[in-house]
Amino acid sequence: MADIAALFNGFAVALTPFNLLLMLIGVSLGVIIGVLPGLGGANGIAILLPLTFTMPPTSAIIMLSCIYWGALFGGAITSILFNIPGEPWSVATTFDGYPMAQHGRAGEALTAAFTSSFVGALVAVIMITFLAPLVARFALQFGPPEFFAVYFLTFCSFVGMGKEPPFKILASMMLGFALAAVGIDTVTGQLRLIFGWHELMRGFDFLIAVIGLFGIGEILLSMEEGLSFSGRAAKINPKVVLETWARLPRYWATSLRSCLIGCWLGITPGGATPASFMSYGVAKRVSKNGARFGTGEIEGVIAPETAAHAAGTSALLPMLSLGIPGSPTAAVLLGGLLIWGLQPGPLLFVEQKDFVWGLIASMYLGNIAGLIIVLTCVPLFAAILRIPFSIIAPIIVVICAIGAYTVHNAMLDIWFMLLFGVAGYVFKKLGYPLAPLVLALVLGDRAEDAFRQSMLMSQGTLSVFYSNWLVGSIMALSVVMLVWPLLGFWRAHERKRAAAAV
């Protein structure tokens, strides 16, 4: 019950006119970012982060998280009207959303998408409200070995649950750790991996990596596809909205299932993109209209959108309560916390009550604001996509360069951004996942510190990682995750052998 009181206190923090204004600005900016190719939640927030340095932290994170909600909403607009997913997690929305728009049911599809996004986010926020304080309270007992075990679990789940080849996931993750190690060692103060190049002393900031990998990389990818926008007209009037709303409760089972899938994949570092695909796949298998999926079935829009938003929102749960982000965007928000001098992790709930509950309250309000904005302003946002790519592309590159420069006021960072852009393009084409790289870059130093402190506790033996039931079970789970792909290999091998025998 104390949490409920804290939540209402949070509403009081969030409901100032200044914060409400920031929410509206944030959501609108977010939708624009979500609509534009090459700008997404993660790098959009990374670019705008320096502008919030002067704000109070609570206002800053309210604006930044609202950008995130906006980006989640925005992805659906381009998917449905233009058949171009503005964000990876809205790819699954194109399957049924675009056919609906082709049949002249764009308004219906958009309303369904926005509403189910809202439902997904709401369920996830409610879950965060009740679960996050519990997780944080539990995590207060954690020492360095437990924290390292949780980091280890996070990274092992990437290997276990990723769709990419396991060794590519591993390579990309280790590259992130290596980049994180560049610069001054936090414990001994020695310079590492700079090879006499003193400008590298600062290390690689993950914001630069995010802007390059996702921003420049994405521009290069969309250039290759030679984008030609041919969109459907978007008309939403209150009548369509109300009619669609009247039909939506019929699909409560799909919604509920998608929420669960989304929340689960959001907390574990699966992220919004696999959640949307999985939810679409399950809905297709379970629904009695399953055979008609892909031709403009409203359930095919509800399922991925609900799951993507639920996952995107619940990715903030481990970020807030453990200091471990569940997605690259959550990682950028975590980077923001560090810059504002807040230490993410379980203590945040004890020491920064106003901040945490203000943020959670703003999740409720921001999503309501988002729903209203997208329902009323769709034609406006769709118009942005009609601006030709040869105007948009250079402007986005300029914005990325500005964003990269402002992180440390360093010219060298702009060059690194370009380098990361090329790397992002090549990695994406070859199926190296980018999320593990970014997360390893963010968590590298903290994971290393936890590891070294644990090793100090145990005088250098690894036994500290199975010294009590808690750390032992987390470690065991991690190892299961790590060898999970091997099991897949083995099963495929067995099946092949069985097939050969027949």
C-beta of 147 vs 364, nearer to another protein: 147
Is 192 in a helix, a strand, or coil? Answer: strand
Min CB(61)–another protein separation in Å: 18
Query: Alpha-carbon distance 249 to 88, whole Å?
Result: 27
In the structure encoding, which two tokens stand for residue 229, read together? 């926008």
Residue 297: DSSP 8-state:
-
C-beta of 57 vs 217, nearer to another protein: 217
Whether the Cβ atoms of residue 301 and residue 309 lie closer than 8 Å to each other = no
Min CB(69)–another protein separation in Å: 23
C-beta of 349 vs 432, nearer to another protein: 432
Min CB(166)–another protein separation in Å: 9
Query: Alpha-carbon distance 318 to 141, whole Å?
Result: 16
3-state secondary structure 71-99: HHHHHHHHHHHHCCCCCHHHHHHHHHHHH
C-beta of 188 vs 463, nearer to another protein: 188
Min CB(204)–another protein separation in Å: 9
Residue 204: DSSP 8-state:
-
Min CB(83)–another protein separation in Å: 19
Distance of CA 4 to the CA centre of its chain: 27
- Cβ neighbours, 10 Å, residue 266: 31
Min CB(223)–another protein separation in Å: 5
Query: Alpha-carbon distance 20 to 29, whole Å?
Result: 14
H helix or E strand, kind and range, residue 345:
none
Min CB(426)–another protein separation in Å: 5
C-beta of 189 vs 238, nearer to another protein: 189
C-beta of 94 vs 454, nearer to another protein: 454
If we measure between CA atoms, which residue out of 69, 106, 396 comes closest to residue 227? 396
Give the position of tokens 């033996």.
461
Q: What is the dihedral of CA 58, 345, 476, 275, to 10 degrees?
A: 0
Min CB(358)–another protein separation in Å: 23
Whether the Cβ atoms of residue 415 and residue 400 lie closer than 8 Å to each other = no
Which residue type occupies 163?
Answer: K
Min CB(181)–another protein separation in Å: 4
Query: Alpha-carbon distance 57 to 353, whole Å?
Result: 13
Min CB(177)–another protein separation in Å: 4
Whether the Cβ atoms of residue 302 and residue 120 lie closer than 8 Å to each other = no
C-beta of 304 vs 436, nearer to another protein: 436
Whether the Cβ atoms of residue 332 and residue 210 lie closer than 8 Å to each other = yes
Q: Is 296 left (phi over 0), alpha (psi -120 to 50) or beta?
A: left
C-beta of 172 vs 279, nearer to another protein: 172
Beta-strand ranges (E) seen in 169-279 are: 183-184, 191-192
Min CB(38)–another protein separation in Å: 10
C-beta of 1 vs 391, nearer to another protein: 391
Whether the Cβ atoms of residue 107 and residue 314 lie closer than 8 Å to each other = no
Interface residues toward another protein, by CB under 8 A = 50-51, 54, 165, 167-168, 170-171, 174-175, 177-178, 181, 185, 187-188, 190, 192-193, 195, 216, 219-220, 223-226, 388, 390-391, 393-395, 397-398, 401-402, 405-406, 409, 411, 414-416, 418-419, 421-423, 425-427, 429-430, 432, 448, 451-452, 455-456, 460
Min CB(475)–another protein separation in Å: 16
C-beta of 114 vs 389, nearer to another protein: 389
Query: Alpha-carbon distance 488 to 146, whole Å?
Result: 29
Query: Alpha-carbon distance 306 to 290, whole Å?
Result: 18
C-beta of 166 vs 370, nearer to another protein: 166
C-beta of 193 vs 347, nearer to another protein: 193
Is 271 in a helix, a strand, or coil? Answer: coil
